[in-house]
Structure 1
Amino acid sequence: MTAAISRAGCADIADLRQLYYAVYGPHYPTALGTDPAEMTRLIGDPHTLWLVARCATTGVLVGSAAIHSEPGSRIGRLEGLAVHPDHRAGGLAGALTEALCAQMLDQGRLDSVYATVRTVIAGPQRVVSRNGFRPMGILPNAVDLDSRESLALYARYSQGVLDRRIPVPEVPAPLAPLLRNVERSLGVSYAGTRATAPVPAPPRPAAARLEMIEAPAFVRRRFRERFPDSAQWFYPLHTPNVLLMPDDGGFEVYAYLNRTGRYCALVAAHPEPAAAAAWLEPLTQTLTRAGAGYVEALVPLDHHRAISAFLHQGFIPSALYPAMRPEGDGFHDYVVMSRTAEQIDFRGVVVDAPLQPYLDSYLSAWASTYLPTLEVAP
């Protein structure tokens, strides 16, 4: 099908909402595609490029996609990729994706763009793969649409970014299979990175009550006061909306909780992550009771102790993002540590061949974490 691609405008919002409903039904978990006020803001945002595709003969809006970034950030997220079910055979998804990347990556505006891709069908994986994105992990039970769905993490880079990664001397041994998968997928090397035993788990805290504050404006203000310099924290495109702390106020953990999609991202801890390391289990339980079926944290790959703490509390290394955050002339790698409180059902998952090793390594890591080692008595 011949289509005309152009920037989205406020006059397109009604048609866009109809498009996302046709593609995702009533359960699309993000404001892009459902909330007219937020859609208006994104269309006018200088850090967002939103493109739409219209049928050249009828003028009907049949496709949409956007790359969203933040002030001062050089990482973007491909989101809202949707093509009307009646027009999926014409290559529109690929055309929209390539048009976005040509402006945001090839022209040097961003260092990398990532996408979280549905795994109920292989089509979305193949679309991003054909447009230069490479798989970097799987996020089991990451979002609640019609049912609990797993997502795949993909990324595409500007020229030369991967060559400037800052070396990581060692990682906890359970991360080794994930590193090998990324080596094959991206053509990078972790030959100089040793796999060593995780450090011992921090002592469990004495009985104390955690408080969770859900006041988004207050949480944002306090977060900016605690972290005026973004170098002290890093979780792109996630603004915290909840705050967790113990009775004595010994630490503060900031998180983004999406009740529609029933997922949560741990964004930052004050005064430092080590202060909350021993509290990961009660923190996760509190967020689960608040409606998060999936909790994830983004941890620098060179923070051996922090990764070890997450491993001890049942978090699985499910994805790796090389060269994610710039520092000086180099880039730091990050690992996604995830934990789900719900039963994982992979029977409906469809993975393309390049993604299969990530699913295999996740299953192995999950089994070694949650299944007991049985001993046969003589």
Structure 2
Amino acid sequence: MTATIEQATPADVADLRQLYYAVYGPHYPTALGTDPAEMSRLIQDPHTLWLVARCARTGALAGSAAVHGEPGSRIGRLEGLAVHPDQRGSGLAGQLTEALCARTLGAGKLDSVYATVRTVSAGPQRVVARNGFRPMGILPNAVDLDSRESLALYARHSPGVLDRRVPVAEVPASLAPLLRTVEGSLGISYAETRPTVPRPAPAGAAQAPLEIVEAPAFVRRRFHERFPEPGRWFYPLHTPNILLTPDDGGFEVYAYLNRTGRYCALVTAHPDPAFAAGWLESVTRTLTRAGAGYVEALVPLEHHTALSAFGAQGFIAGALYPAMRRDDDGFHDYVVMSRTTEHIDFHGVVVDPPLQPFLDSYVSAWASTYLPSREVAS
């Protein structure tokens, strides 16, 4: 099929909604393909590049994809990649992906672009891989569509970015297999990073109740009052919409909860993220009661204590994003720590060979965390 690729306009919203319904059915978990007002806003957002593919003969909408960024950040998210079922196998997905990368990474506007890719088939993984994206890890049970699905994390960097990573001296030993896997995937080295024993978990009132505030506009305002400078927090493209706090208001945990997909991202805490580390068990229980089947946190690789605290509460490092955050002329690596309260079933997961080592690494880490060690009596 011969297609014309161009920027989406607000006039395309109705056709775009029909496209996403044709591809994903009624369970697409993001506003990008379901909420007309939000779609129109994103199309006109100067930090979002949304492209559509049209049949050159009929003008019918055949494909869509976007790279979404935010002010002050040089990282983007590839999202909404969809090709009409009648046009699958036409190469449109790859054309859209490459066009987006050429106009963002290739133009020097972004340092990296990431994508969370479905694992119900190898097709989506191969599309992004053919366009320069490389696997970074696995996110088990990350989203609820027709059923609970695992996603794969892929990313593509601008030239030279990976060479400017800030070295990390030590990490908890449980992260060593993931680091080795990333080395093999990206050809980068963590030879100078020592695996060491986890730090002691901070004391906290793990069973104490937490109140949850679900008032998105209020939470957003309070978040920006608490954190006027993004240097004290970092979770790209996630604006918190809920707040958790104990009865005495001693601290506040900010999170983004997606009820449709039943997943949650922990963004940060006030007055200091470390202060809330001892409450992780209570935080997770509260979020589970609020409907989150999957909770994740983005933790700097150099924050040994925070990584240890999350590990002590059953969070597992499923993905590593090298050179994710720019800091002056260097870049910091981040770990995706996740915990799911639902049964993980990998029987339906399909992984392309480059992603398989990440799945193996996660399964090994999960077993080390949740299965009791056996003593052999002689």
Instruction: Give the shorter-chain TM-score range.
Output: over 0.9
Q: Which residue of 2 aligns with 1:321?
A: 321
Aligned residues: 378
Equivalent in the alignment of 1:199: 199
Listed as ranges, the gaps of 5+ residues in structure 2 are none
Give the secondary-structure state (helix, strand or coil) at the position aligned to 1:32: helix
Q: What SS does structure 2 have at the residue aligned with 1:255?
A: strand
Q: Which residue of 1 aligns with 2:279?
A: 279
Aligned to 2:219: 219
**Any residues of structure 2 matched to 1:1-378 within 5 Å, and which?**
1-205=1-205, 208-377=208-377
CA displacement 1:91-139 (0-9 Å, x = unmatched): 0000000000000001100000000000000000000000000000000
Q: Deviations over 1:330-349 (max 9, x none)?
A: 00100000000100011100
Matched residue SS, 1:343: coil
Contact 2:322 2:333 in 1 (8 A): yes
| TM superposition shift of 1:374 | 2.4
Determine the C-alpha separation between the residues in 1 that align with 2:90 and 2:252. 50
The Cα offsets for residues 337-377 of structure 1, whole Å up to 9 and x where unpaired, read as 00001000111000000000000000000011111112344
Once the two structures are superposed, residues 31-82 of structure 1 have per-residue CA deviations (whole angstroms, 9 ceiling, x without a partner) of 0010000000001000000000011122110100000000111000000000
Decide whether the 8 Å contact of 2:206 with 2:280 is kept in 1.
no
Retained in 2: the 8 A contact 1:138–1:152?
yes
Give the aligned CA root-mean-square deviation in angstroms.
0.9
Alpha-carbon offset, residue 186 of structure 1: 1.1
Displacement of 1:209: 2.0
Quick one: structure 1 residues 180 and 265, their matched pair in 2 at CA, closer, same or farther if it must change by over 3 Å? same
Q: In structure 2, what residue type is equivalent to 1:332?
A: H
- How far does residue 248 in structure 1 lie from its aligned partner after superposition? 1.3
What is the CA-CA distance between 1:273 and the residue it aligns to?
1.1
Post-superposition Cα deviations, 1:232-258, rounded to whole Å, max 9, x if no partner, equal: 000000000000011111111000000
- Please report how far the alpha carbon of residue 155 of structure 1 lies from its aligned counterpart in structure 2 after TM superposition: 0.3
% identical equivalent positions? 80
TM-score (norm 2): 0.99
For 1:85 and 1:178, locate their aligned partners in 2 and report how far apart those are by CA, in whole Å.
Answer: 36
Q: Distance in 2 between matches of 1:204 and 1:226?
A: 23
**Counterpart code for 1:36:** P
Whole-angstrom CA distance in 2 between matches of 1:145 and 1:372: 32
Q: Distance in 2 between matches of 1:148 and 1:344?
A: 9
Quote the offset at 1:322 in angstroms. 0.5
Q: State the shift of 1:207 in Å.
A: 5.1
Equivalent position amino acid for 1:38 in 2: E
Give the partner amino acid of 1:313: Q
Tell whether the 8 Å contact from 1:165 to 1:333 is kept in structure 2 after alignment. yes
State the TM-score, normalized to the length of structure 1.
Answer: 0.99
Distance 1:137 1:75 in 2: 18
CA contact (8 A) 1:250 1:275 kept: no
> Is the contact made by 2:77 and 2:115 (CA closer than 8 Å) also made in structure 1?
yes
Native 8 Å contact 1:171 1:195 kept in 2: yes
Instruction: Give the stretch that moved more between structures: 367-376 or 303-312.
Output: 367-376
Provide closer, same or farther for how the CA distance between residues 206 and 290 of structure 1 changes in structure 2, counting only shifts above 3 A: closer
Query: Is the alpha carbon distance of 1:11 and 1:207 closer, same or farther for their aligned partners in structure 2, counting shifts above 3 Å?
Result: closer
Compared CA separation, residues 33 and 206, structure 1 to 2 (3 A): closer
Aligned 8 A contact 1:111 1:157 in 2: yes
Q: Give the SS at the match of 2:58.
A: coil
Please say which of residues 255-264 and 272-281 is displaced more in the overlay.
272-281
How far apart in 2 are the matches of 1:266 and 1:280?
Answer: 10
**Worse-matched range after superposition: 201-210 or 326-335:** 201-210
Cα distance in 2 for partners of 1:376, 1:161 equals: 48
Asked whether the 8 Å contact 2:207–2:282 carries over to 1, the reply is no
Look up the equivalent residue of 1:153 and give its one-letter code: L
Letter in 1 for 2:229: D
Unaligned stretches of 5+ residues in structure 1: none
User: Could you tell me how far 1:21 is from its partner in structure 2?
Assistant: 0.3
Partner of 2:90, secondary structure, is coil
Q: Which amino acid aligns with 1:143?
A: V
Q: Distance in 1 between matches of 2:207 and 2:132?
A: 50
